[in-house]
Each structure stands twice: as C-alpha cells, then as structure tokens.
Structure 1
Amino acid sequence: MASAHRSFLVLTALLTALASSAATAEDRTFHVGLDGTFAPHAMPTMSGGVEGFNVDLANEIGKRLGAKMEITATQFSGLIPGLQAGTFDFLAAPTTITPERAENLLFTEGYLDTDFQLVVKADGPQIDDLSELKGKTIAVNKGSAYDSWARGLEEKIGWKVESYGTNSDAIQAVLTGRAAANVAGNTVSAWAVKKNPALKLSYLHKTGLVWGMPFRKDSVDLRNEVERAIECMKIDGTMKAMSEKWFGVTPEEGSTAITPIKGYGQPGFPGYVEDDHTPACK
C-alpha cells in the first residue's frame, strides 16, 4: 500500500513537472519590432494586421523556437531605440548590417542580399550594362539611397535622374514612358514586377550588403538560437519558398537567402563568432 502511494506521488510529481514545462514553453514570448509600411516585407492587411516576407520570417522563427511572437509595427526610426530600451527582444525589419550598427548591436548572419535593381517596361530592351541608359531618364524615390547612387553616376553614365515622392510614383513614370527605368532595392523592385505584368526586372547592381536581424549586445544566446533557426530555413528550402511567394524570385545559387554561413553573426563585422556548430534542423 505504501509502495503504491509512493508510486502515485512520484507519478504526480512527474506529471506536474511536465505540465509546468509545457506551460513554460507555451508562455515563451518574444516582442519583435518591424516597419509595417515597407512592402513586401511588412504591410497593412485589410483586417488591421500586417503581412509580408518579414512577418512570415518572424512567425516561422517563433514556430521553430516554440515561442509566441508579439509583432509590433512602428516607424523604422523608432525600432533601434526601442530595441536598446528593451521594448523589443529583437527586430524583424530588414536592417542592413554596417560596421557602425554592428558596433552597437548584435546581428545574426545575413538572410537576404540587399542590392539595387532596375525595373523597365516588359516590352522594352533588357539592360545588361548601365552605359545603355546614356541619355535616358532614371526615376527614383526622392532622398533614398538609390537617389544618391543614381545621382552619383549622373555625369559618368550620362543619364538624367528624376526624383519622386514615393517609389510607386517612380514606377508610374516608367509605365507612362516618362522614365526608361526605375532603380530601387531588389526585393522592392521584384514586388513591383510581381504586381504588374507590364514591368520586368533588369540590371542588378550588387552592393555586397545583407540584411540581418539585430539584437542587443547582451542577447548572445537568443541571437544564436534565432540564427540556428534561420540557417535551418535556408537548408530546408523555407527561405526559398518565402522568396518565391513574396518576391516572385527564386534565389540564385550561392545567394545569402539559401546559403548558411559558418559561425554566428556576419563575417567581417563586430559580433561575429567563428565556430563549427551544425544546425540541428528538424
């Protein structure tokens, strides 16, 4: 009788521990920030939420970590201060890894290349070299990195740069024939082409830059955990499928979207740790 009672108590203790462990896993929540106006990475839905590549990316990471993702959409300018203040555990907004940022933040390895790409009319000639645009007009979003880049090449190439209040207006200039091409980020350009069959992607300018997920400097373990999830998404084809879904583009062989990087963080930047871990993909 006493033995049976002890067995009952042991079983009860085990069940309680398992229940507590399950509850802890279910209660694990990360507060994630992103810019909800940067299509196709994050954009408003009709129901008042947000959707896009980076929303899917954050939710898939949460699924793989067994955690709930509390996603908050706000202006990009407030994201890094919010992260540093502890409002967010990490950011899911596309954030270019730069030496300056990496001095103050901890980044995962890159998950997408951030390049410049031209958009032209679908029935127009393919641009293989920028010199082919001599004497032509290039439409850009005013004040953007693409505006600065295009104007920096104005004298060398001999094109004319026209700036517009939004990239949508710059795209419209191409559609109406007021500009020969629009230049923007490769994913934004891909999204514009995906939505409009009258457009096509053209010349790609490689910058060598990538987007990574930023964390506070003291979040090493969480950064590493999220990075392992990202690596598995590259390995098992999830990142490829998401690129095709949101950008209409299959990542090229060797591109950041499908190529895991050795170590933790982005090589060549502060915060990178070289090791030989192997992602335990399920």
Structure 2
Amino acid sequence: MHNWKSVAFVTAVSLALCGGARAETLVVGADSSNPPWEYKDKAGNYIGFEIDLVNEIGRRLGMDVKIEDYGFPALFPGVSSGRIQAAISSITITNERLKNASFTQGFYDSDLALVSRENSEIKSLADTSGKAMGAVSATVGEKWIKGNTQKYAFGDYRGYNTQDPLLLDLKAGRIDAAVGDISGIQFAIKAIKGLKVDEQIPTGDKFGIMMPKNSPLLSKVNDVMTEMKKEGFIADLHKKWFGVAPDKSSSTVQERPLPVLQ
C-alpha cells in the first residue's frame, strides 16, 4: 500500500513542475513603433507609457504580461478573434469600435495635431487645400482626414501602418501634411528633425485598453485602473513620459465610467 502522504507530496510537486503554480498570462498586443506609448529600446525591450501601465496592471492582478508586436490595424482582428486578451497603442474609444470590442475607462484625453515640414507654406488647416495628406491607417487621424476632406478640400490621401514611415514620407516631401495624436507626434519630431506642429485639433477623444467583447477580465482590469488613478500612479506615468503633470480634471487623474455602446 502506498503512503498517502508521499502520494500527495509527489502530486503537488508534479503539478508545480507542470505549471500548476505558474501565474496566468495576460497577452497584450501593441504597435512597437508608437513612441512614447510603446516602442523598443536599443536592446529590443518594450518601453513606453502604456507598457508601464499594462505591466503594473498585470503585477497587481498577479498575472504575467506578454507583449506581442502587431501593426496598428492588426490589433482589431487580434482582439476580436481572441488571439490577444488586450490591445494598447493609443487606441481611441469610439462608438464604432465598441460594436466589436470592449474598452476600459479612458486614461488619457487626446487631441490631434496637424504636422508639416518646417519650410512648408502650411501654417494651419486653412493652408491645406489641395495638399496631399497622410495618417496611420485605422486611426482617428485617418477618420478625421476622411471626414473633413470636403471642408478643407484636401488633395490625395495616403495611409500608413505605423507612424515612423508616415513622418519620414512627410519629411521627404512624398506627402504635404499629416494628422495624428498630438502627444505621439510631439515626441517623434524631437528625433525626426525638420517637422513642425501647425495646429492642435480638439477631439474630446480618450484612450483606453481594448479587450475582446465582454471579456471576463474587463472589470478586473478596470478596477485596477481606478485604484491606480486614485493612488496617482497613472499621473506619475504622465510626468515620466511627457515631462508635465496631467490636468487634475483629466481622465488620467479622474475615474471614468466604463464606455458603453451609444
């Protein structure tokens, strides 16, 4: 007859060795060319505002965080198919996106920016008639351009998978101007010289973490975000990555309701 204590011990060890004691993994999709939100350092490690954010969320939930590299447009089918459990990359919460995905509360209030070359005749949106425009595909910047083409009489439009080729094409003169998230553009043009922000475009938009529709993790992640706001953790990330404190009334500081389809 086997000693039941020995059997129990061996079973416990076997479970641990087989991964029974391992933390659950939160698989997060991210566009790795989206500074300062997420990008890679010289060693190939993911860094950025949202990388810090999801790593802290994972830590507080007792979950390992695995970041997977996706181009921005690929994040949406990645989430809807369940291949990834969450997506980050300065993703704006919109009613259209809420039809196919769920979002946490917003954690950043974002405006858009019009950007052109420093030697360009473009000084504001009033100077963009007939000009070739660009934006990252599937972003609010692209949607804004398409929705305002008639108003401003924009010329040709070109979409890009990530921000770097968009801004490099702008610098090279292959397009005349671009529209995108102001924080990401301001951060990028510190390194890509010869570009300037011409005009800030108010949107009322908020960034959130996108998750599969009705994800069982949604409320847990959202509750942790509320806790982090109350403690000032997300405000500290704002100071770290943008060099200034967020407005006290912003969604970086204040709790917001879970977004619902309107």
- Counterpart of 1:223 in structure 2 is 218
Q: Compute the TM-score of the two structures, normalised by the length of structure 2.
A: 0.69
Residue segments in structure 1 that go unaligned for 5+ positions in a row: 1-8, 10-15, 271-282
Identity of aligned residues (%): 27
Does the 8 Å contact 1:62/1:69 carry over to 2?
yes
- Counterpart of 1:233 in structure 2 is 228
Q: CA deviation at 1:151?
A: 6.9
Write the letter of the residue equivalent to 1:252.
D
> Following the alignment from structure 1 to structure 2, what is the Cα–Cα distance between the partners of residues 91 and 102?
14
Instruction: Please give the residue correspondences for 1:194-213 in structure 2 after superposition, counting only pairs within 5 Å.
Output: 194-195=190-191, 203-213=199-209
With over 3 angstroms needed to count, the CA separation of the structure-2 counterparts of 1:247 and 1:74, relative to structure 1, is same
Q: CA deviation at 1:259?
A: 1.9
Greater Cα offset, 240-249 or 139-148: 139-148
The superposition leaves residues 150-201 of structure 1 with CA deviations (integer Å, 9 ceiling, x where unpaired) of: 5765675578788696332256369xxx96x753212212212444687665
- Counterpart of 1:43 in structure 2 is 39
> Following the alignment from structure 1 to structure 2, what is the Cα–Cα distance between the partners of residues 25 and 202?
54
> Following the alignment from structure 1 to structure 2, what is the Cα–Cα distance between the partners of residues 229 and 182?
35
After superposition, the CA RMSD in angstroms is 4.0
Q: CA deviation at 1:237?
A: 2.5
- Counterpart of 2:58 in structure 1 is 62
> Following the alignment from structure 1 to structure 2, what is the Cα–Cα distance between the partners of residues 39 and 155?
31
Does the 8 Å contact 2:142/2:159 carry over to 1?
no
Write the letter of the residue equivalent to 1:88.
I
Instruction: Please give the residue correspondences for 1:138-177 in structure 2 after superposition, counting only pairs within 5 Å.
Output: 140-141=134-135, 146=141, 149-150=144-145, 153=148, 156=151, 166-169=165-168, 172=171
Aligned residues: 241
Larger fraction in helix: 1
> Following the alignment from structure 1 to structure 2, what is the Cα–Cα distance between the partners of residues 64 and 188?
27
The superposition leaves residues 110-129 of structure 1 with CA deviations (integer Å, 9 ceiling, x where unpaired) of: 122232123478999xx7x7
- Counterpart of 1:269 in structure 2 is 261
Greater relative contact order (Cα < 8 A, sep 6+)? 2
Q: Which has the larger radius of gyration?
A: 1
Instruction: Please give the residue correspondences for 1:1-282 in structure 2 after superposition, counting only pairs within 5 Å.
Output: 27-119=23-115, 130-131=125-126, 133=127, 140-141=134-135, 146=141, 149-150=144-145, 153=148, 156=151, 166-169=165-168, 172=171, 182-195=178-191, 203-220=199-216, 222-261=217-256, 263=257, 265-266=258-259, 268-269=260-261
Greater Cα offset, 25-34 or 161-170: 161-170
With over 3 angstroms needed to count, the CA separation of the structure-2 counterparts of 1:44 and 1:110, relative to structure 1, is same
Larger fraction in strand: 2
SS in 1 for 2:84: coil
Q: Compute the TM-score of the two structures, normalised by the length of structure 1.
A: 0.65
> Following the alignment from structure 2 to structure 1, what is the Cα–Cα distance between the partners of residues 72 and 136?
17
> Following the alignment from structure 1 to structure 2, what is the Cα–Cα distance between the partners of residues 80 and 155?
28
> Following the alignment from structure 2 to structure 1, what is the Cα–Cα distance between the partners of residues 230 and 137?
37
Does the 8 Å contact 1:107/1:215 carry over to 2?
yes
With over 3 angstroms needed to count, the CA separation of the structure-2 counterparts of 1:119 and 1:77, relative to structure 1, is closer
SS in 1 for 2:66: strand
> Following the alignment from structure 1 to structure 2, what is the Cα–Cα distance between the partners of residues 226 and 250?
24
With over 3 angstroms needed to count, the CA separation of the structure-2 counterparts of 1:194 and 1:130, relative to structure 1, is same
> Following the alignment from structure 2 to structure 1, what is the Cα–Cα distance between the partners of residues 159 and 98?
32
